[in-house]
Every structure is written in structure tokens, then in C-alpha cells.
Chains A and B, each alone.
Chain A
């Protein structure tokens, strides 16, 4: 898996600096974050956006794992993108 180095950080809370984007899988349960980048097939990105997952959105992780359950603007969306796409978030402090 990619980004193994992130696993050693507890990425919720103030321990991590605001500027490090990490894959959404690593957002801890009940942590908030902001989507900063999404990459993958354009048609997949389009569908994500139609469901409300897009850059600049605030997300909250409800249930971590594969698939994970995230909360965006009060809606819960389950998500498993596999290797074909990535969503990067910056965890919010506090």
C-alpha cells in the first residue's frame, strides 16, 4: 500500500501540521478534514462530484476501512475506490 509513513502518525487532532494532505483512508474515525485533491479517471471524478464529494468539501470519517463511511454535509456516503482513484484530505485541527 502507498503512504505507509502516515500510519505511524495519529492523524487526528493537532499533532499533524495543517499542510500535509493524506489519503482519505487514513483519516481517523470522528475526525474532520477538507478535501484538497482528487485524482483518478475523469468519469469517476464526475460521479464523485455528482454525489457531492468534491474539492473544498468538509468531510468527517464515520467508519474507517475498506469501504469507508464518510459524512459530507450531513449525508453519509460509503466509498471504496480501490487503486483507481485517490482522495486527499487535510485533517482539521482540534
Chain B
């Protein structure tokens, strides 16, 4: 896993560039890591550190979020700027800035370069996406640019791992002997008006008299960006007069005819144009590219929206259709494992711990690996082909009706995988108010941890009706509805939040849509694999531990001696019967014949008796266990939702992490059932569960739906709440989210149960 800090005595270089120029792809190629890659701006939102492989010296590479300029506006851009200028405490300032340009769009990319050039760091220019230069019919003379700038220029194709070795060599040689620092007249800021230079000198002198040591770059930014990133930093550090100083300076510049901030962009573009003159030639294409032709439909107001719904439909239908076989396979393995352990171990605490706690609990969660894999396969494809940004474009219209912009759509979409990266991705939203609203509704999006819960409930209690020759399933549609429920509830929630907590006009929407491309198999494989691995690790740690705790709470304090002896007796009877059957020579392979034998019939009834006794003893033990005691306290609160105490405790236990409900139910039902039923999985056990007083089934469609609605809306994830705390820097917002979501969940589940209880 990429870490966030570098080793003390390693040399540090940083990758910086416009969004979506392939920084993370290059980082992965250089360091052999798997940082997230996707074909839309704003994939990386925090710095990642990796170790350059195959070099003599220890060199750490930092992958940074993309930015269009050093005038940071959003939180992710601020990360890039802070790291590059060494503002992060306890972290070394990078020694070399590696500026990654999209070789097919050099002019715009060089704007950022012109700013970094002035930082005084040794710079390496990387022309990534070099493959596009040829395919788009451009001419780029990298050598000429290198000569004019006096910095090394390397051409790469990060996704095809081309030019990586050369880049490594260049990094090493630059660290060894940096190119001579450019003269100030070489910079774009030499083209700024002289009045501006005078103001910079004045402000620098004043800051120095206050005991500060600002760099020219910082003073430039202070003067140019109104209420910018550096102004805020410096105000916070105890120089409140600075605001009036800057205001006065800007006023003077204005009267002298220097238009702040536009003079900067003008000067820089003029500088860039001079630089690339003759080195970069773009054929002006008057016709639409293939991407344009696709976009004409996918960004169409209605067609685009319908397409988006269609894509989601396909995803959830596929999950129900294709996950079935691998899931059955894993379930079979689970049953084999239980059977194996039962054959080896005599009934007792250890056997119960392994079979009921570990295999029943953790195994129950692992069963859902295929669904997770399919979901992430689709997410990875959508992210890497470039469709995500289109979806954001289409959704902008809808988002403005609740006061947000299309920018908020991408973090919300990534919350469908997991709310934690989704909340992190809100860093890309410039408007603070929009960011807060997005961050607070992100946990409502149906994350992949909810998927197993839905699948379990849907496959057990929604009829397996198929339409259109089996290609569309009712289960798939219910699954899609549950997945979109959170998003639908988020609409009024966002509207209320925006209206009462963060009032303001919807922010303007400005986003680059990069060309479509074929999704890269490596990127997809990495994304799916990483997710599956983390799912398994989660099951093996967090869920494993809770399973054992839950098992202990169900197993103790009851006395299991009499149950164990009954179970032994039952198993002995069962094996005797099977031996007798095996011995009967004339018996055909069918099952009917042996029962007619009076001897066997006699034994069978004995088995039934023993079975009855075991079941009675089991349910008595569960009722009297620690968990049973707690459960009966909870029951009055969850009864209105149609739940019995077992569901109640399972839901309460799943507050730290959602999948725990499956592990908990798995353990409870495994402890309460015999081996034959156990082998048929949790689904079957849930289907036959009965209320003790009247023998009616515990689970009906209404109960299943109410559980799903509760899970759709509830904030059952400690990691999410911690991320909200970290990103907002206060406890207020995680507590707020927890309270509002749990309340919504309870009300939603109650309403659902009350509506559906009389149906079916």
C-alpha cells in the first residue's frame, strides 16, 4: 500500500501536472505501485509516496493531485501546492519537480509549468501520452523545447510503460547534478508589468520587516489571487494586517492600469506561445472526432440521462445474473469445510467456535466476493473509459435543482464503491458549501458493503421471477431499487442542507471531459483485485473478530454439556443409519426403498426424536445467552420494524461495519441449527426461522425490505464517520451525519414494514 510519508534520508521528487495527464500512471510505472488511475480529472486527491525501483540511491517519488495552476482553489489543489512548496510539517520539500504535460495539449499544460519553473526547483519535463501526438497528427519537437528551456524533456507513454527507464535515468542525473538555474529574465514573470514588480518588492520588504522570509512566488500569489490560498495561510499564522496591505497594493495596481489577476494569465500565455513557436504544430481539425460523435448522444439532455439509467440497470442485473454460480461454489466450499471440521472434532466449544463462529460468520461474508468483483469490474470500466465525467455533465442539470453542481456528482458516484474515497474526493469541489453538502450526503450512496446485505435479503425473500427469457430478473430490479434508494433520499436531504445550513447559489460548473479510451485491462485488474483483497482482509480481521465476540456472546454462559451429548448421540444414530443402508445389498441407489425396512424406520424415528431434543436445547441456550439477554432488551425497539431480537442484535452489532450483520446472523443461526440445515447456507436458515410464540416465519418480504431500507439509510460505518471528522476538522459533522442518518433509517424501515406487512 502506498504510504503518506517518506523516509528521513531519502531524496524526494514530486510529480505534478494538470489533472488527468497520467501522473498516477507514471507513478505506478516508476515505483511499481497501484495508485488509483481513472480517465477523469480529480482521481488523486491526496499525496502518495512510493520508492523508485532499481536505482542506486534511495529516491522517494510523491504522486500529487492534479492542478491547473499554483493558485490553489480547492482542497486537492492545495495539497499539491503545499507539498511542492514544502509547507507540510515533518516532510521534506521535494528536491526536483517532475512536471507532467499532456503531449497532445502542450500549450495549456505549459501554463502550470511556467509557474513551477519560477519556484527555483530543478525541473524535469515529461511529455506523457506521447502516443497521442502521432495519433492526433501533431508535431512536437521535444528537443527544441528542451533547448529553449534549459531543462531535460522526456517523452513517455505511461500506460504502455514506454520511456520509463529514460525518465529514471534523468531523475538520477538531475539529482546528481541539476541543470543550471534559469536566469530571471527567462521566466514568464519577467513579462509582468513593472508596477507589479515594484509592488512585489515593497511587500517583500514589509514581510521581511515582520520577520518572514517569503519567496518571490509566494508574494506573487499573495498579490494576484484575491483571498487566495497563501493569503489565508499567512493570515492564520498571525499577520492579520496583511489583508489591508494587499488590498492597498491591488488598488494601486488597478489605478496604474495593471489588471489583477488577468495580467498574469496574459503574460504567461504570451510566454508559452513564444516558447512553443515552431516547436509545436497543431492541425486545426474542423470536423468532429469519434469522441465528439459519441458525446453528441451521451451528453444529450434526455438520451444521456436514459443511457446513465440503462448503464446502472445493466450493472445490477449482471450482479444478480452472473454472481450466482461462483457464489454457489463458495457456499459449497463453506459447507464442505463445516462438514470436514465436524467429522474431525467432537462436539464442544472448539468445534462450535470454528463451525459457527468462523465458518458461519466470516464464511457467510466471503460468499459475496463474486458480487463485489462484478460491481468493481463495472466501476473500473466506467472510470477508465472516460464515461464518469460525461455522467457528471449530464447530471449537472439535475444537481442544480438541489443547489449543487455536476462537480459533486463524481464524489457521489465514487461513494457507490465506498464512502471513504467518496468523501475524500469532495476535495475537488471548490465551493466550500457545496463540498460540505456533498460530503454529508455521500454516506447515503449505496456503498459496496451494503451489497451483500441486499443480495442476501433479495435472494432469500424476493421471488425469483424472470422476464425476457431470463435476461431481466425481478431480484435484479429490487436490487437496483435498493441501490438507488439512498441516492433518491439524498435529493431532499441535499436540498434541505443547502437551504438551511449552507445557503448560496449553485457554484459554476467547469470541467474538462477527456477523450474516451479503451479501458486498460491492467488498471481494471488492479482495481478489482485491490478491492477483493481489502474485502477479504476486512473479513479476516474486523469481521473475524466480531464474529468471535458474537459467537462467545451466544455460546456463553449456558451449559453445553447436555447439548453436546445429545449432538453426539444424534450423530451416532445418523451414521448407524447410513451404515445400515450401505449394508443392504439389494437396495437400489434410490432413497425410497430403505425406509420400508422396519428396522431403519425405527431408527429414523429415533433420529427425529433426538433432533427435536437438540433443537429445543439449542434454542433454550441461545435465549439464555448473553446475546439473548441483550437481544430481549432491544426487542421492544425493533419489533415495530418487524424484527425479532436476533435481527435486532445483528443490526446493532453492525454499527461499526455493515457486513457484520451477515456474520452475526450466520453465527446465531449456525448455533441454532443442526448440520444439515447449516450446509444449506444462511439464506435457507433465515427462510425457516420462526417466531417462538406463534410459529409464524420471522422473515417475510416486509421484514426483508425493512432491513434493507434500514441499511440503505443508516450510518453504519465507523471509517466513514472518522473520514468526515478528518475532512471537516470537527466532531460536529460526523455526529450530525450519524444522528440524521440513523433517524432516517429507523423511520424509513418502520414505514416500509408498516406498508408491506399486509401484503403477501
Contacts and interface: CB of A to CB of B under 8 A. Distances in A.
A58 B69 contact: no
B510 A63 contact: no
A62 B510 contact: no
A32 B71 contact: no
Contact of B510 (A43, A48, A74, A75): A48
B387 interface: no
B512 A82 contact: no
Given A54-B265, A74-B104, A69 B299 contact: yes
B262 interface: yes
Contacts of B73: 47
B323 interface: no
A76 B512 contact: yes
Interface string B104-138: 11011001100000000000000000000000100
B508 interface: yes
A30 B288 contact: yes
Interface in A48-91: 48-52, 54, 58, 62-63, 65-67, 69, 71, 73-82, 84-85
Interface stretch (B290-298, B540-548, B626-634, B678-686): B290-298
Given A62-B295, A76-B291, A50 B69 contact: yes
Given A46-B265, A47-B68, A49-B262, A63 B506 contact: no
Contacts of A66: 397
Interface string B492-526: 00000000000001101111111100000000000
B463 interface: no
Contact of A51 (B68, B289, B295): B68
B511 A77 contact: yes
B510 A82 contact: no
A54 B262 CA distance: 10
B508 A81 contact: yes
B623 interface: no
B21 to A, nearest CB: 12
Interface in A9-62: 29-30, 32, 42-52, 54, 58, 62
Contact of B396 (A44, A73, A80): A80
A74 B508 CA distance: 22
B225 A43 contact: yes
B261 A43 contact: yes
Contact of B295 (A44, A69, A81): A69
B726 interface: no
B510 A51 contact: yes
B509 A42 contact: no
Given A42-B226, A46-B71, A51 B261 contact: no
A80 B405 contact: yes
B513 A69 contact: yes
A78 B511 contact: yes
A43 B231 CA distance: 14
Contacts of B296: 29, 62-63
A42 B261 contact: yes
A29 B299 CA distance: 13
A25 to B, nearest CB: 13
Nearest to B226: A43
A74 B282 contact: yes
Nearest to A53: B510
A40 B86 CA distance: 34
Nearest to A51: B68
Interface residues of B, number: 51
B393 interface: yes
B300 interface: yes
B508 A85 contact: yes
Contacts of B112: 50
Contacts of A82: 505-506, 508
B373 interface: no
Interface in B398-431: 400, 405-406
A50 B72 CA distance: 11
Nearest to B300: A63
A29 B406 CA distance: 21
B586 interface: no
Contacts of B262: 42, 45-46, 49
A20 B611 CA distance: 91
A45 B568 CA distance: 81
A76 B513 contact: yes
A46 B264 contact: yes
B406 A67 contact: yes
A32 B505 CA distance: 31
Contacts of A63: 295-296, 299-300
B510 A77 contact: yes
A80 B515 CA distance: 20
Interface in B252-272: 259-262, 264-265, 269
A78 B393 contact: yes
Name the residue among B107, B112, B269 with the largest chain A CB count within 10 angstroms: B269
A77 B512 contact: yes
Contacts of A74: 104-105, 136, 282, 285, 289
B284 interface: yes
Nearest to A63: B299
A17 to B, nearest CB: 21
B105 A78 contact: no
B301 interface: yes
Contacts of B285: 74
Contacts of B509: 67, 78-80
Nearest to B269: A54
Nearest to A71: B292
B176 interface: no
B73 to A, nearest CB: 7
Contact of A46 (B261, B282, B291, B508): B261
Contacts of B299: 62-63, 69, 78
A43 B226 CA distance: 7
Contacts of B108: 51-52, 73, 75
B274 interface: no
Given A67-B509, A80-B508, A81-B508, A73 B105 contact: yes
A81 B136 CA distance: 30
Contacts of A79: 509-510
A86 to B, nearest CB: 12
Given A78-B389, A82-B506, 10 more contacts: A43-B227, A47-B73, A49-B262, A62-B295, A67-B393, A67-B397, A73-B108, A74-B136, A76-B514, A78-B299
**The 5 A-B residue pairs with the shortest CB-CB distance in the complex, in nearest-first order:** A49-B265, A80-B509, A52-B108, A50-B68, A76-B513
23 contacts: A30-B288, A46-B265, A47-B68, A49-B269, A51-B512, A52-B108, A54-B269, A62-B299, A63-B300, A67-B393, A67-B397, A67-B406, A73-B105, A74-B104, A76-B292, A76-B295, A78-B389, A78-B512, A78-B513, A80-B396, A82-B508, A84-B508, A85-B508
